[in-house]
Amino acid sequence: MPHTQIQTARCAALVGPYLSGKTSLLESLLSAAGATTRKGSVRDGNAVGDSSPEAKARQMSVEVNVASFEFLGERWSVLDCPGSVELACETQSALMVADVAVIVAEAVPEKAVLLAPLFKFLDDNRIPHLLFINKVDSLGDLRVRDVVQAYQAVSARKLVLREVPIREGGKITGFVDLVSERAWHFNPHKPSNLVQIPDSLKDREHEARQEMLEAVADYDDALLEKLLEDVAPDTQEVYDRLASELADDLIVPVFFGSAENDNGIRRLLKALRHEGPDVATSAERAGIPADATVAAQVFKTLNGSHAGKISLARVWRGTVNDGMTLGGERVSGVFRMMGHNQEKLSQAAAGEVVALGRLDKAATGDLLTDKGNAGRAALWPELPPPVFGLALHAQNRNDEVKLTAAIQKLVEEDPSLRLDQSTDTGELVLWGQGDIHLQIAMDRLRNKFNVSVKGVPPQVPYRESIRKGTAHHARYKRQTGGHGQFADIHVEVKPLPRGTGFQFEDGIVGGVVPRQFIPAVETGVRDYAVRGPLGFPVVDFAVKLTGGQFHAVDSSEMAFKTVARQAMTEALPACEPVLLEPILTVSIAVPSDFTSKVQRLVSGRRGQILGYDARPGWQGWDEVKAYLPQAEMHDLIVELRSLSLGVGTFTWSFERLQELTGKAADKAVEIRKETLAAQ
């Protein structure tokens, strides 16, 4: 077909579930374009992508990998994105700067649900995307159209089959392009051979082509009129409409092949070349200001142990020169990426994906222009809420000082990580999207920053309270030569309604305790309440100071603070201490087929189901709302994903404190005693 060569570089993102073959597809694309002399593989650990120690150890993508090549005179950047749902934030950031996304999916209808969140994100952000059904050599007797039908159930946009398979001996050996109506025979690891359309396939090809044209005509009245009048549209007109509707995210073209055997790869490349939108179209979709002469957007931040900070960015407009001021900072190096290898450039033109050196103030999502740093783009995706946490402890005590700084650099690289210093337990808790996510983070701490850590489940912030009140008299007297220490108080202790907190009341009459010592009594009570009879902070109780005595010489603030702690130590065990556990409100989102399993999951974790309803904006999904003890939350995401094919998720918020008794309470108290003894 005729093609007007696009002068600006373009960018495609490879996305899809774990094990769908994205990195293998990247290797095939690079090989087909002549960008590499030898095709690498994930299995052998020599792929252009997945070159980090963390990726090689797991044989999976753990971060966005950038590669660049030229194909038929046009420059392309490809972003190979992680497939793990735990690393979705990384993928979403890359998608925001891509012209087009290639969804890589296995030819397994049962796995269609895995694509639902991805299709939803692409459609919500109007990102053009096409579907590449990989591994069709293992399709067996299953028809491609059946696979497409299964994936259509999770896509709001119409999936438009662009080719039909040629089968020989029960295997797919080629395809017929439905626009050009030409057939090719697969030639593994080499370009496909042009062949005649088999006679047995002509009826199916005609039927499929008509379905494709009708799908395209849904958005083109002129084309629809031709079809109604049985007028065959011009081939170029069909190509133009396909390109236009892809750019507007109206349809999803579907191709198939085998990245492992390089089948269908060149057809995919040509589809991207002819139909993928250019950078100007994508910049308008991304809301890039038209008044910026030079504009680049950071989609990934890297902190090297020696190289310093590197910002991966898409150049939207103008030319970025080495040494220029961009985003209010001087660019110290412009690099074209090929995996972890860098090619130094003097400049990068619009459309290119490059690494920019030492922009210390730039963060992921920031739009950098010649006028300054505009900050995170308004259309940038929201960060996902944390669902899994680990308390981190440096294995070498000498590393504790640099641990926090190293984690902050990881959070800068991956904003879906979050570091909290727990005010309840004092622990340093790293939050993320799952166990794999945090294990990767800990490996990076060791590999990049030479800080070895161990992660353990965070302590549950239990509280304790009292069930009944009491009155108590306490006296503190000590004579050590010279001035001694003397304080005497009478207090009344009583429980308060749940959620009230702590109240202190001054009930002194007649000055039996001087005014200047009363605040010390309250301070002493508060100091004790940090660790009550069960070992946890005490809440929801009141203390009233009703009487006491003092000595003109020996009494002091310290003495009254001490006697207050002594009074609480003696009084609270008699007030029937009770353990309180935090209860959370949890909203669990899953495809409707898994709703009943989620209800059983909640019940098995001492949860209380509040009800469920359709998830707003998600066809075929439910939201189950429940109360769950925080003690049951640590590995909830692990089990939830296990029962929902990896796509289930949840949000949570604190609801209340609730009494806990029996074996669960005894176990919590025992663990607390062991923890305090070890400190």
The mean predicted confidence, pLDDT, of the chain is 94
Transcribe 489-527 into DSSP letters.
EEEEEEE--TT--EEEEE---TTSS-GGGHHHHHHHHHH
Residue for token pair 């310093």: 308
Q: Angle at CA 417, nearest 5°, toward 282 and 455?
A: 155
Q: How far apart are CA 429 and CA 319, in angstroms?
A: 42
301 contacts 357 by C-beta, under 8 angstroms: no
Q: How far apart are CA 22 and CA 19, in angstroms?
A: 8
| pTM of the predicted protein model | 0.92
**CB burial string 658-672: b at 16+ within 10 A, e below:** eebeeeebeebbeeb
Chain centroid to Cα 241, Å, comes to 35
Beta bridge partners of 613: 623
The closest alpha carbon to 77, from 296, 352, 269, belongs to: 352
**Across residues 273-296, what is the average pLDDT?**
94
Residue 60: phi and psi, rounded to 5, are -155, 155
Residues 6+ apart with CB under 8 A from 461: 422, 424, 425, 582, 630
What is the pLDDT at residue 2? Answer: 53
**Across residues 136-153, what is the average pLDDT?**
92
Q: How far apart are CA 374 and CA 289, in angstroms?
A: 10
Helix (H) or strand (E) segment spanning residue 154: none
The closest alpha carbon to 282, from 491, 77, 589, 71, belongs to: 77
Alpha helices (runs of H) in 36-87, residue ranges in sequence order: 53-58
Q: How far apart are CA 147 and CA 170, in angstroms?
A: 16
What is the pLDDT at residue 305? Answer: 66
Sort strands 65-71 and 129-134 into parallel, antiparallel or unpaired.
Answer: unpaired
Q: How far apart are CA 253 and CA 410, in angstroms?
A: 37
Structure tokens at 399: 């590393």
Lowest-confidence region among 229-238, 300-309, 626-635: 300-309
Q: How far apart are CA 320 and CA 294, in angstroms?
A: 7
Q: How far apart are CA 313 and CA 369, in angstroms?
A: 12
Q: How far apart are CA 259 and CA 78, in angstroms?
A: 15
* One-letter amino acid of 52: S
- Packed helices 202-217 and 221-228: angle between N→C axes, nearest 10 degrees: 140
What is the pLDDT at residue 398? Answer: 86
Sort strands 428-432 and 388-394 into parallel, antiparallel or unpaired.
Answer: antiparallel
**Across residues 565-573, what is the average pLDDT?**
97
| Cβ atoms within 10 Å of 592's Cβ, excluding its own | 14
Residue for token pair 């005014």: 515
Chain centroid to Cα 494, Å, comes to 46
Residue for token pair 């020996």: 554
Transcribe 373-418 into DSSP letters.
EEEE-TTSPPPPPP-EEEEEEESSGGGHHHHHHHHHHHHHH-TT-E
- Packed helices 518-529 and 557-571: angle between N→C axes, nearest 10 degrees: 40
- Cα→Cα distances 101→69, 227, 275, 454, Å: 17, 30, 12, 37
Q: How far apart are CA 539 and CA 577, in angstroms?
A: 11
The sign of the torsion formed by the CA atoms of 111, 114, 118, 123 equals positive
520 contacts 563 by C-beta, under 8 angstroms: no
162 contacts 176 by C-beta, under 8 angstroms: no
Q: How far apart are CA 334 and CA 320, in angstroms?
A: 8
What is the pLDDT at residue 32? Answer: 94
The closest alpha carbon to 90, from 55, 50, 62, belongs to: 62
Q: How far apart are CA 353 and CA 349, in angstroms?
A: 9
Structure tokens at 21: 């073959």
Structure tokens at 38: 């030898």
Lowest-confidence region among 40-54, 223-237, 351-365, 519-533: 40-54
603 contacts 609 by C-beta, under 8 angstroms: yes
Q: How far apart are CA 576 and CA 370, in angstroms?
A: 67
Residues 6+ apart with CB under 8 A from 39: 27, 28, 30, 31, 189, 262
The torsion defined by the Cα of 505, 507, 513 and 516, in degrees rounded to 10, comes to 40
Residues 6+ apart with CB under 8 A from 509: none
Chain centroid to Cα 18, Å, comes to 14
Beta strands in 215-328 (DSSP E): 251-256, 295-304, 308-317, 320-321, 325-326
**Across residues 328-336, what is the average pLDDT?**
96
Percent of the chain at pLDDT > 70 equals 99
**Across residues 36-49, what is the average pLDDT?**
80
Residues in the chain: 679
What is the pLDDT at residue 48? Answer: 84
Q: pLDDT (tens digit, 9 = 90+) per residue, 63-106?
A: 999 999 999 999 999 999 999 999 999 999 999 999 999 999 99
**Across residues 528-551, what is the average pLDDT?**
96
**CB burial string 307-328: b at 16+ within 10 A, e below:** eebbbbbbbbbbebebeeebbe
**Across residues 266-293, what is the average pLDDT?**
94
**Across residues 193-215, what is the average pLDDT?**
95
Residue 195: phi and psi, rounded to 5, are -135, 175
Sort strands 341-345 and 347-348 into parallel, antiparallel or unpaired.
Answer: unpaired
Please tell me what DSSP assigns to residue 597.
Answer: H
**Across residues 351-375, what is the average pLDDT?**
95
Transcribe 230-260 into DSSP letters.
TPPPPHHHHHHHHHHHHHTT-EEEEEE-BTT
What is the pLDDT at residue 3? Answer: 63
The closest alpha carbon to 71, from 143, 160, 10, belongs to: 10
Burial class (CB within 10 angstroms; exposed 0-12, middle 13-18, buried 19+) of 480: exposed
What is the pLDDT at residue 1? Answer: 46
Given a cut of 50, whether residue 619 has pLDDT beyond it is yes
User: Rounded to 5, what percent of the chain is helix, strand, coil?
Assistant: 30, 35, 35
* Helix, coil or strand: residue 430: strand
* Rg of the chain on CA atoms, in Å: 32
Q: pLDDT (tens digit, 9 = 90+) per residue, 454-502?
A: 999 999 999 999 999 999 999 999 987 667 899 999 999 999 999 999 9
Q: How far apart are CA 362 and CA 301, in angstroms?
A: 9
